[in-house]
Chain A
C-alpha cells in the first residue's frame, strides 16, 4: 500500500502538477533559446538577425528566471504546506484561481516578447531586467503585474492554511516546511513592492503614453529593490529541498531544525536591503549607500554558510547511518545512484563554487572588474541556472510519482541527466567567467570588434567560445533527457508501488528552537525597518536629483484614467520622502 501525495490530496496534486508542467514548458522554450543564443554569440551558428538576439535573450531570461522558477516553486510550496500541516487547502477554487492568474499573466507577457520576432509594431525586447530606458509594449508590464498578483494570492492561500491550522493546534510549533514557506512569502511580499511600484507608477504609465518620461535611475533602483531578493525567492525553495528532502534521501535526518529556522529568518530580514549591490557602477548613488548595501550583502553570506554546514552535516548523518566511515570516506556511502540525491548534491556543490564568484561580485572594488561582463552570466548560471534549476529537476524525479501516481519512467536516464547538467555547466560557466575577466561583455550578439582583440591569459578566445558552445550543447542534451523522463512518466500507467509522501525527520527538533523564531510579525517588522534604513535615503536623493518622472518633465497630464496610480504615487512618495518634488506633484494632481 502506498501513501503518495496524490492519494492523500488528490485535488491539490492536480494544481501542483499543473504548476510543474507550466514550469517545464517554460524550461523547454527557454532552454531552446539558451542554445540558440549560445551558438549565435560564439559565432558557431547564426541563423537570425543579430537584432533578434535581444528578443531571444529576453525570452530566455524571462521564461527561465521568472516563469520556470516561480511556477515550480508555487507547486513545491503548495505541496509543503498541505503535507506538513496535513490538511487540504482551504478552498481549491481559490488555489486554481491564483494559478490561472499566473498563467494569464505569463501569456500576456509572452505575447509582446514573441511579437518581437514579427514585423508587428508590438515588442518587448527589454531583457528580463526591463528597467528604463528600455521600453516595452504595455501588455508586457500588464502581464507581469497579473503574474505577480497571482503569486501574492498564492501566498494568501498558504497563510490561510496556516491560520486555519493554528486555530486547531494553538500550542504547536509551525512545522518546518510551512515555516519556510511563510518566511519566504513574507520576504516576497516586501520585495515585490519594488517592482509593483516601478511598473504601476512609472513603466506602465510611461509605456501607455500617460507620462512623458521617467527617471531611469529610479526605475533601476526600484527594479533592483526586487531584483536581488528575487534570487532568494528562487533559492529558498531549493534550500527547502536541501533541508527537508536531502537528509531523508541520504538516509539520515536533518541535523538541526532550529538552525534551519534561523537561516530562513535571516533571509527574510536581509534579502531586501541589499539590492543596491547591483548598482555599484550606477552614477547618481552615493558611495556610502553602496557601502551599506555591500555590508548587508556580506552578512547575507552567513545564512548560506549555515546552510552549507547543516545540509552537509545531515548528509553525513545519512552516510554514517548507511555504514560510512572516516573523515571523507563517508562520502562513498551516499546514495549516488539515486538521481534525486545526486542531482541535489551536485547542485549544492556548484553553489559552493558560485559562492566564490558571488563574493567577487559583492565586493565594491572588485565588482568594477567584472560588472556587466560575461563573468556575471557565468556566475548566475551556477546559482539560478544550476543550484536552483538542477535542484528543481532532481526533486522532480521524486515529485513526479507523487503528483501523478505513476512510477518514474527511467532512473538511469535521470541520473545521466543530472550528471550531464553538472558537466555541461562546468564547461559553459568556467569559460564565461574567464571570458568576463578578459572584459568580454554580456548581452552582446556579436562580441567581436574591428581592430581590437580580447587577449586571453590562458588559451584563446576561440577556445573559450568552443568551451561555451560545448557546455551549451551538453546542457541542451541534458534538457532533452529531462523532458524524455517527464513525458515518459506521464505516459506510464498508475503504479501502486511508490514511495510514501514524507519528508526528513530531525535530529534536533523544533522544541529546541526558541519560540521567538516563530514570531513572524517581529521578523517582518525588523525586515521592514532594515529596508527603510537601506532605501529611504538613496531613493530620496535619486528623486531629489532627477525628479520622480525624470528631469525633463515639465507638466503632468491632468486628465488620466489611472488616477488611482497618481493617488498612490503621492501616498508612497509622502511616506518615503518629504521632498519638495512631492509637494509640487501633489499640488498639480487634479483631485
Chain B
C-alpha cells in the first residue's frame, strides 16, 4: 500500500466541530501534520485540547468537518463505509484508554474478534490469538474474562487484539491512562518493542515520561498544533 516517498498519514487543515445547537464546539481547528511509516509519535496536550478527536479522525472512527486526510497517498473521502471498516480491521489497530473488551468473553475470544471480521479460519484464529496474547505476556491468562483480569492485563489483552491482524499502524489513546506507573512501563515496553519491529505507533498521553518512549512529540492546544 505504501509508496516510496509518500507519507503514511498526511493531514491538511483538518477541522472538526460539534454543532450543539446553541453553541458550536471546535474540537479541532486547523491541524496539518505528516507522519511517516515506522514513526513513534506522541500526542500531548491539556485535557479537552482535541487529542482524542484527532486520534479518532486518524483511525477512521470519525470524519473531519473540514480539510483533507490522505492515507498512504489516497484521500479517505474516496473510501466508502465498507472499505473504511476493512482498513480499521486489517491496516490499523486501536488501543483504547478504557480497554473496551467484550464482557463475559475470554481474553482469547476477545483477541479473536478482529479475525472473525477478516474471515480468518477458526484454527488459525486460535493460533494467532494465542501468539498475540503470549507476545503481550499473558500466556497464562488465555481463558480469563475481563472481570478476572487487572487493568494492566486488560490493557495488554486490548493491545493483543489491536495487533492480531498484523496492522501497519497502532493508535493508542492514553494506553496507560488507567494504569499505575509500574504497569504503565510494562505496557510501554511492549509498545516500544512493537515499534522496533517496524510498526508505526501514534499515542496520546498526558505524561512526559510516557511521551519519552516516542521519537517525536506533537503538542496540541485548543484544537491546534503548537
Q: Do A and B come from one complex?
A: no
Residues of A within 8 A of B (CB): none
Residues of B within 8 A of A (CB): none
